[in-house]
């Protein structure tokens, strides 16, 4: 596990974004851990989060020209990532979509830079993939090319079938998904923390039952 992934999970735990206990997921499963990126809700944490996104994207080696943030969570995440990339000397444009088209002013559904070139979609997680599919189709309709989806955590968990939402999205559109951390990283993180030893077996059991 590379250092920035371990650092990201420690950062998430410190901000109560990553929690361990007993939780019920959207799918109705009892999970021993929970991740809610919406709790990165102040300037300092959003700045640091953007830096983790930027590191993961640069580490992926994927060539890109622009960032796109799907409404609503993706808007601040794409902006934070663009700022972090600029800090690293890589200044790229970004844009985001509105839920409803605007019929005055600049109009349309896209705010920010014009969609062009190779575009990375920035969001928090992939649950059922619907929002990302919409983004991919919107980018292609504009004549641009979606080259990756960048998320915070890949739970590597089965959806309705045998594959995860991430695997289904990659198979359907041929667009790779880059995650700052995955469930594998979470398990390695727990293994290195004595204070989380009580959750090792529970997370392993959950993965054995629901992992893709």
Report the b/e string of 157-190 with b at 16+ CB within 10 A.
bbbeeeebbbbbbbeebebbbbbbbbbebbbebb
88, 99, 104, 202: the catalytic one is 104
Distance CA 165, CA 117 (A): 26
Strand 18-24, strand 94-102: pairing: unpaired
For residue 116, the surrounding DSSP H or E stretch is: none
Structure tokens at 76: 């601040």
3-state secondary structure of 120: strand
Neighbouring CB atoms inside 10 A of 33's CB total 21
Structure tokens at 178: 């880059």
Chain Cα centroid distance, residue 209: 23
Structure tokens at 184: 């594998």
15, 88, 99, 102: the catalytic one is 102
Q: Which residue has the tokens 């289904």?
A: 168
Asked if 102 is an active-site residue, the reply is yes
Q: Give the residue numbers annotated as catalytic, written as ranges.
A: 102, 104
């Amino acid at each position: 596990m590379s250092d920035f992934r371990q650092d990201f999970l420690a950062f998430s735990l410190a901000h109560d974004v990553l929690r361990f206990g007993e939780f019920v997921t959207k799918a109705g499963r009892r999970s021993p851990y929970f991740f809610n990126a919406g709790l990165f809700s102040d300037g300092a944490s959003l700045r640091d989060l953007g830096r983790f996104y930027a590191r993961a994207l640069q580490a992926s080696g994927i060539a890109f020209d622009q960032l796109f943030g799907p409404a609503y969570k993706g808007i601040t995440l794409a902006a934070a990532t663009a700022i972090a990339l600029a800090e690293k000397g890589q200044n790229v444009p970004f844009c985001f979509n509105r839920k409803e088209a605007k019929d005055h002013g600049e109009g349309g559904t896209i705010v920010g830079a014009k969609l062009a070139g190779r575009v990375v979609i920035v969001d928090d997680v992939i649950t059922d993939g619907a929002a990302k599919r919409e983004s991919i189709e919107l980018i292609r309709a504009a004549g641009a090319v979606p080259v990756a989806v960048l998320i915070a955590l890949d739970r590597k968990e089965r959806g309705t079938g045998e594959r995860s939402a991430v695997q289904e999205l990659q198979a359907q559109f041929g667009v790779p998904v880059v995650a700052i951390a995955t469930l594998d990283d979470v398990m390695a993180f727990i293994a290195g923390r004595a204070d989380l030893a009580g959750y090792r077996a529970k997370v392993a059991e959950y993965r054995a039952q629901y992992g893709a």
